Structure 1
Amino acid sequence: MASLVISEYVGARVRRKEDPRLITGRATYVDDLRLPGMLHVAIVRSVYAHARITGIDTSQAAAMPGVFGVYTAADLQKGAVEGAFTSLATDRVRYLGEPVAVVVAESAYAARDARDAVVVDYEPLPVVASIEAAMAEGAPQLYDDKPGNIAVDVTHTQGDVAGAFERAPVVVKQRIVSQRLSGVPMEPRAVAAAPDPTTGGVTVWSSTQAPHWNRKAIAGVLGLGLSQVRIIAPEVGGGFGVKIGAYPEDFILAVLTRLINRPVKWIETRSENFQVTNHGRAQIADIEVAAEKNGKILAYRMTVMQDQGADARGAYLAPTTTSMAVGCYDIPAIETRAMGILTNTMPVSAYRGAGRPEAAYYIERAIDLVADATGLDPAEVRRVNFIPPDKFPVTTVTGERYDSGEYAKALDKALEVSGYQQLRQMQAEARQQGRYVGIGLASYVEICGFGPFESSHVRVEPTGSVSVYTGISPHGQGQETTFAQIVADNLGADFDQVVVHHGDTSNTPEGNGTMGSRGLAVGGGALMLSVEQIREKAFKIAAHLLEASVDDIELVDGKYRVKGAPDRGVTLAEIAEAAYGGKIPEDMEPGLEATNFFKPADETFPFGTHVAVVEVFPDTGEVKLLDYYSVDDCGVRISPMLVEGQVHGGLAQGIGQALWEEIRYDENGQLLTGTLMDYAVPKASYFPVFKTDATVTPTPINPLGAKGIGEAATIGSTPAVANAVIDALEPFGITHLDIPFTAEKVWAAIRQSGK
């Protein structure tokens, strides 16, 4: 068969197929769903961070107008497998907002009014609302089987760490805090459920990133077969990791709809979203670096303490951080400890990057601390420590196997496009004028393309249009566009007649959803297997129709034609007509479709270098972002415009962490930042025009050579801005300050410096 041709669509700037329905209001979200007889759900939530439940009085709420019923854990257990349903608290609550009871009513307003009439008697218990409080001697214990409130404790040592520190002429150490964040998706979580009389099961609509995962979880709780549970993820208004996996509300509504035999719907309020949707980050790291005077790092010590919140659903976070501890750097010895600490707060789990932004932040601050201690330029300290290109694929001292990389190439391009030397000159001139300008670098590497597999079913219809069914569940990543680009190029299909279906477990093959920048890297890998299988068959049919050898067929400009005879050719529509009409070789099955599962051999490792330029105003502590440059290497770019969009969004979230965003609790576990009046989400006006560029280092891990881009910019931007602010504060003798750099915090640090 002829080799794949240079593409027309892949690599082109193509408008997103998803956008017309989204920007014209024709898209369907969970809250748009209206079913006959649908009832509305409101959740009674704990007002304490830690307490015993001594009684629940539902009588007043149940008697209110429009109320269908009020349910406690004992009521809902009747609709679940014995011992499986734990989504409503029974005798004890461990975080603010934990579900205690459920109100079902004819309207959302009636449900919320009745919710407020449910009387819950609590016996308050001592609260530990921070890592330090939970680890203190004699601290209250959240669980009897987790002594010391420690849920995770993993250590790793490789190389002669002690010897390196003994002989190192330069040693730096620092405690670094990566604050707790909220994902703040545009659409809060939403769930609707209805009985399915055909299967005797349920259909659940959920704003989830992983429909097949939710199907398995809900089927287990209900005691149903997977074929009896259908999960539909319609449009999802942002996820960023916080919509991965089933939440209590998914189970509650699935059980309710079977108990009452009516459709039910729950829409999370913004305040609930801040309170009870997974938080992110929330780590404390103690780092220590041993280095030569030329900046070469000899060894790295890191202890990461992860605030798990009230359960360990994010148990993987701290180990993920330590696994990526060395970043882009060829560090010969390491000692890490990853701890997960339980507290009376909302559980912490995935949020754009999930453990990797934290690792990049720590190592990139470490690099700048080494630069401070040695008097070297931060760019040169990075360069002297980079893993060289000829070492790839390389297994780091933490055990991660990096696929490909040219880190110095990305650094050089970032220095070039930013005019780094001119920026340093401008900085020196500004300081002479009494202005405090800072320049920050961050060279990052991150891990993407997680398995264990992804799926694809591609069907060329009899008219030549193409239906693609994918196991991923995009919610903004643009796979309807990129997948159509791939199909159009490699099958000769009409781009406008390629329709990508996703997010419905009844028609998509088993998949693992969209997270960890795996949609294109793994989902696209599965798509390519199906496309190549169909392509091979299409070439054979074309050869049969044209009475030529398969080796003489080429696909050019959307037509399968005989080499050297461009007037002799057939279109995909003509091939499809033959495939379904019987005009095919006798030994060939009819039809033109394929189902495939792609299992990547390993993960992919995108990388890049970012440069941030800020100005700090000492009189007020205000930090202004003057310029931002990002050079990101995500391997082969299928759709450059989509990559730019992912980078822009990622930069906004990473810079938001550095400068403004933070979830805060008081010592009693009460949320202090529970609304958009209290939690500072950045506005577009806060940012300059981002200057983005790229290097391209393909990965050998998947057929597309694509590494993933969904989280990369978030990972690079937080440390770049942090380093820039600290660089601006250098005249005040400040070598570290924890993010976010609020005006109050920066102003206080300057005053305390005495300079």
Structure 2
Amino acid sequence: MIGQPLRRTEDARLLRGQGRFTGDVSLPGQVHAAVVRSPHPHARIVAIDGRAASALPGVLAVLTGAEVAADGLRAIPHSPVPSNRYDLALRAPGGSAIFIGPHALLPADKARHVGEAVALIVAETSGQAEDAVERVRVTWDPLPFVVDTAEAAEGKAPAVWDEVPSNVCVDCAFGSDEAAVEAAFARAARIVAHDFHVGRVSGLPIEPRAALAAYDAATERYVLYAGSGGAFRQRRELAEVLGVPAERLRVISADVGGNFGTKNRVYVEYGLVLWAAKRLGRPVKYTATRAETLVSDYQGRDLVTRVALALDADGRFLALRADNVSNVGARAVSFSPLGKGSALVTGNYDIPLARVRARAVFTNTVPTQAYRSSGRPEVTFAIERLVDLAAHRMGLDRLELRRRNLVDAAKMPYANPFGMVYDSGRYAENMELARRLADWDGFEARRAEARGRGRLLGRGLANYVESSVGTPREQARMIVRQDSGIVDVVVGTQPAGQGHETTFAQVAAERLGLDPMSIRILLGDTDVVLFGGGTHSGRSMRMAGAVIALAADDLIAEGRRRAARALEAAEMDITYARGRFTVAGTDRGVGLFALPGELAVTRDNEMHEPVFPNGCHVCEVEIDPETGALRLTRYAAVDDVGRAVNPLIVEGQTHGGIAQGLGQALLEACVVDGAGQTLTGSLLDYALPRAADLPSFATRLNEVPSPTNPLGIKAGGEGGTTPAPAVIASAVADALGIDDLALPLTPAVIWRAMRHAGTADG
């Protein structure tokens, strides 16, 4: 079953409207919550007057930071510093502990970004709650603010937190010896350096954030329905906020309508509805509007970097240095993008010496969080654009320059200067396969044809490597249901559209010799699942798939022992195949579902070693020089995901990932003006790619199994996103003959770049 392109079993119920998302859940007597949000990027809360709101029909409560403090609710324990032993050990300036900025459910002192929640309204209906929001009067004392990443890094901007007057909460360096790096730059024949900014985007899953909470006074237990990337993390952190043992909180995360990292961390609204449900004695439901998500969902990217590459006269890479500055917003929710990205700034290339300075800064903006391929698209953009610049300035073919410097497959496992050990991969082969898949050699004829129509055609290429670690522990429980002929597989990895019900069943079915339809996957409920690491960092198939395979082996071993007793034979004489135990050399046997007693096993597994998915993407873009309008005409992707459990699902993940990466490259940006106000606060202003914007993708897998896990899996959910901004920018630069381009490459940006450079005529 592993390796078969089976159609997703979950699609049948989802297409029939039978999914169970948070918005589909209602409880008897439920009431509705709405949130009062700050209109200021930075302001002291002088007073909140909720009397007019409280007097409206149906309004049950107006709650503020004063009540949060009085009830002893704690700050959200975000734990933003990556803790895996392979992660970079980020520290504050001077090597001290990092100040992360406490995240109260409702602040009592200041609002630190536009859209921050400052009061909660609970009413009988959602309309009544939303109307009451407009009647709450907040007295503000506006304060100086900073929203720009580079400005915050200078250390002279207004402080977001008094505890960090410079706004720089992380400042440390990693990699090769600094003197050795400088010596390599001193002897270089050519140095290429450039500044890049990969700006902010929003995950914008189809299903906005929603939460429904209830409290049972008789049992003193809470229940929360909320889509997430991991119910166990939500339970642990929210229990700490409430000050109760984790066992007193049940989190149910059934179907999740998209995530991309946006829903992996706890939000204040989740804690607020739990708290309000207990205070009011009724279930409380909150659903974010799309406008709210654009000013309060944790956002992605926002990295400013200066990267320099030293080369010898033959174009061999000698050394690299980088200065990465990550904008974490008003609070440190996650430093994962900075840590994981900085460790891969050398990309797929054999660069013997490299050093990176990694900084994180507070600003008066929405906090950032790991977003699909956390940190890797930013550094991939930097190194791939830098290699293009180096090729141009040295008069070398950009493919040839890459060939000379890609890590050779014979060097695997390969340790880069930051201690990342690339487990396996054939990088040069990826590039050659992508070149052929994209018909690289036919490009000049297509360019001439486009020129004849008054269009500019450009071609881009980008290699990429990413890392996948995540929570290193996972657990699976298998239960044989004799009455139904079903094997239940209970696992704590939460899907958000990846097709886990299909792929996990494929792994279990192959190991057990059963039809995948006889496998039932149970997940997303902390009263059913004993433990779960959740879905993030490309860990799902590798971690859950491996532990499911191991649990299946344990189930067969336990079944063999029971079959030996039932058949009065030696255990060593019992064989197993296709759901049946047989005494070797006889026709005596017993089926898996006919064994006496309940047959169930639980298996834990830990894998700390990261894996490194990789690949090469090529694209072509056609530009109208009169308007700057761009049309993507060709896109080819070659990806090494390790062993692909279901190639059809991997291809779907690749398509979606490419679309998200193209969105960032061409359309998407969270724009904040000089007054600290969000200019992209609705889908009228925040542009997303549509199907009509995309060509048919040509994709191919170049599977090199990873030696780090039993199934040889790397990861397949983020590879499409990682190189897409770089490959699009490469193609636009090639079409225009302009190197200095800023994302997103909208028609206006392209038009201005052409007029400034005088290249509108091609």
Q: Same fold (TM over 0.5)?
A: yes
- Partners of 1:389 and 1:558 lie apart in 2 by 40
Matched residues, number = 730
Contact kept, 8 Å, 1:418 with 1:629, in 2: the verdict is: yes
Equivalent position SS for 2:723: helix
Work out whether 1:140 is the aligned partner of 2:147: no
Contact kept, 8 Å, 1:152 with 1:315, in 2: the verdict is: no
Offset from partner CA, 1:553-597 (integer Å, 9 cap, x none): 5555554456677xx3756xx2332232xxxxxxxxxx3211112
- Partners of 1:529 and 1:646 lie apart in 2 by 26
Q: Which residue matches 1:586?
A: none
Question: 1:259-338 residue pairs with structure 2 within 5 A?
Answer: 259-338=279-358
Work out whether 1:465 is the aligned partner of 2:486: yes
Equivalent position SS for 2:728: helix
Of 577, 585, 594, 1:577 maps to 594
Quickly say closer, same or farther: Cα 1:158–1:69, change in 2 above 3 A.
Answer: same
Deviation at 1:121, TM superposition (A): 0.6
Q: Which amino acid aligns with 1:496?
A: M
- Partners of 2:147 and 2:439 lie apart in 1 by 45
Equivalent position SS for 1:148: coil
Q: Which amino acid aligns with 1:645?
A: G
Q: Which residue matches 2:389?
A: 369
Work out whether 1:102 is the aligned partner of 2:120: yes
Work out whether 1:89 is the aligned partner of 2:107: yes
- Partners of 1:494 and 1:713 lie apart in 2 by 31
RMSD, aligned CA: 1.9
Q: Which residue matches 1:77?
A: 69
- Partners of 1:246 and 1:684 lie apart in 2 by 32
Worse-superposed segment, 622-631 or 489-498: 489-498
Of 617, 625, 638, 2:645 maps to 638
- Partners of 2:494 and 2:539 lie apart in 1 by 10
Offset from partner CA, 1:204-257 (integer Å, 9 cap, x none): 111111211111111112121111111111211000001012111111111111
Offset from partner CA, 1:7-55 (integer Å, 9 cap, x none): xx21112121211111111111111111111110000111111111111
- Partners of 2:174 and 2:155 lie apart in 1 by 26
- Partners of 1:196 and 1:437 lie apart in 2 by 64
Quickly say closer, same or farther: Cα 1:492–1:97, change in 2 above 3 A.
Answer: same
Q: Which amino acid aligns with 2:128?
A: A
Work out whether 1:47 is the aligned partner of 2:39: yes
Contact kept, 8 Å, 2:253 with 2:524, in 1: the verdict is: yes
Contact kept, 8 Å, 2:391 with 2:397, in 1: the verdict is: yes
Residue ranges of structure 1 left out of the alignment (5+ in a row): 1-8, 581-590
Q: Which amino acid aligns with 2:596?
A: A
Contact kept, 8 Å, 2:514 with 2:578, in 1: the verdict is: no
Of 397, 403, 416, 1:396 maps to 416
Contact kept, 8 Å, 2:3 with 2:645, in 1: the verdict is: yes
Q: Which amino acid aligns with 2:511?
A: N
Of 143, 147, 172, 1:154 maps to 172
- Partners of 1:448 and 1:23 lie apart in 2 by 31
Q: Which residue matches 1:678?
A: 685
Q: Which residue matches 1:584?
A: none
Q: Which residue matches 2:507?
A: 486
Work out whether 1:738 is the aligned partner of 2:742: yes
Contact kept, 8 Å, 2:32 with 2:122, in 1: the verdict is: yes
- Partners of 2:405 and 2:152 lie apart in 1 by 37
Quickly say closer, same or farther: Cα 1:593–1:189, change in 2 above 3 A.
Answer: same
Work out whether 1:663 is the aligned partner of 2:667: no
- Partners of 1:23 and 1:17 lie apart in 2 by 11
- Partners of 2:112 and 2:146 lie apart in 1 by 10
Quickly say closer, same or farther: Cα 1:216–1:545, change in 2 above 3 A.
Answer: same
- Partners of 2:429 and 2:173 lie apart in 1 by 33
Question: 1:215-230 residue pairs with structure 2 within 5 A?
Answer: 215-230=235-250
Work out whether 1:68 is the aligned partner of 2:75: no
Q: Which residue matches 1:254?
A: 274
Of 641, 652, 655, 1:648 maps to 655
Deviation at 1:617, TM superposition (A): 1.5
Contact kept, 8 Å, 1:541 with 1:575, in 2: the verdict is: no
Quickly say closer, same or farther: Cα 1:551–1:722, change in 2 above 3 A.
Answer: farther
Equivalent position SS for 1:146: coil
Equivalent position SS for 1:523: helix
- Partners of 2:288 and 2:475 lie apart in 1 by 31
- Partners of 2:417 and 2:451 lie apart in 1 by 41
Equivalent position SS for 1:517: coil
Q: Which residue matches 2:731?
A: 724
- Partners of 1:548 and 1:410 lie apart in 2 by 52
Q: Which residue matches 1:130?
A: 148
TM-score (norm 2): 0.93
Equivalent position SS for 2:720: helix
Offset from partner CA, 1:66-119 (integer Å, 9 cap, x none): 111111112233444467882102121110011111110000000000011000
TM-score (norm 1): 0.93
- Partners of 2:130 and 2:624 lie apart in 1 by 46
- Partners of 2:709 and 2:346 lie apart in 1 by 25
- Partners of 2:508 and 2:74 lie apart in 1 by 47
Quickly say closer, same or farther: Cα 1:111–1:81, change in 2 above 3 A.
Answer: closer
Deviation at 1:426, TM superposition (A): 3.3
- Partners of 1:65 and 1:432 lie apart in 2 by 68
Question: 1:368-517 residue pairs with structure 2 within 5 A?
Answer: 368-427=388-447, 430-431=450-451, 435-463=455-483, 464-517=485-538
Contact kept, 8 Å, 2:145 with 2:159, in 1: the verdict is: no
Deviation at 1:547, TM superposition (A): 6.3
Quickly say closer, same or farther: Cα 1:433–1:374, change in 2 above 3 A.
Answer: farther
Q: Which residue matches 2:613?
A: 606
Deviation at 1:198, TM superposition (A): 5.4
Equivalent position SS for 2:636: strand
Quickly say closer, same or farther: Cα 1:252–1:592, change in 2 above 3 A.
Answer: same
- Partners of 1:665 and 1:92 lie apart in 2 by 20
Equivalent position SS for 1:338: strand
Residue ranges of structure 2 left out of the alignment (5+ in a row): 77-102
Worse-superposed segment, 479-488 or 546-555: 546-555
Offset from partner CA, 1:257-298 (integer Å, 9 cap, x none): 111211100001000011100110111111111112332211
Question: 1:197-212 residue pairs with structure 2 within 5 A?
Answer: 197=217, 199-212=219-232
Q: Which residue matches 2:715?
A: 708
- Partners of 1:511 and 1:13 lie apart in 2 by 27
Equivalent position SS for 2:41: coil
Worse-superposed segment, 26-35 or 278-287: 26-35
Work out whether 1:696 is the aligned partner of 2:700: no
Work out whether 1:14 is the aligned partner of 2:32: no
Work out whether 1:187 is the aligned partner of 2:207: yes
Equivalent position SS for 1:692: strand
Offset from partner CA, 1:145-167 (integer Å, 9 cap, x none): 21311111121240521111111
Contact kept, 8 Å, 2:229 with 2:534, in 1: the verdict is: yes
Counting aligned pairs with the same residue, the percent is 38
Quickly say closer, same or farther: Cα 1:465–1:615, change in 2 above 3 A.
Answer: same
Q: Which amino acid aligns with 2:35?
A: I
Contact kept, 8 Å, 2:340 with 2:467, in 1: the verdict is: no
Contact kept, 8 Å, 1:490 with 1:535, in 2: the verdict is: no
Equivalent position SS for 1:286: strand
- Partners of 1:365 and 1:717 lie apart in 2 by 12
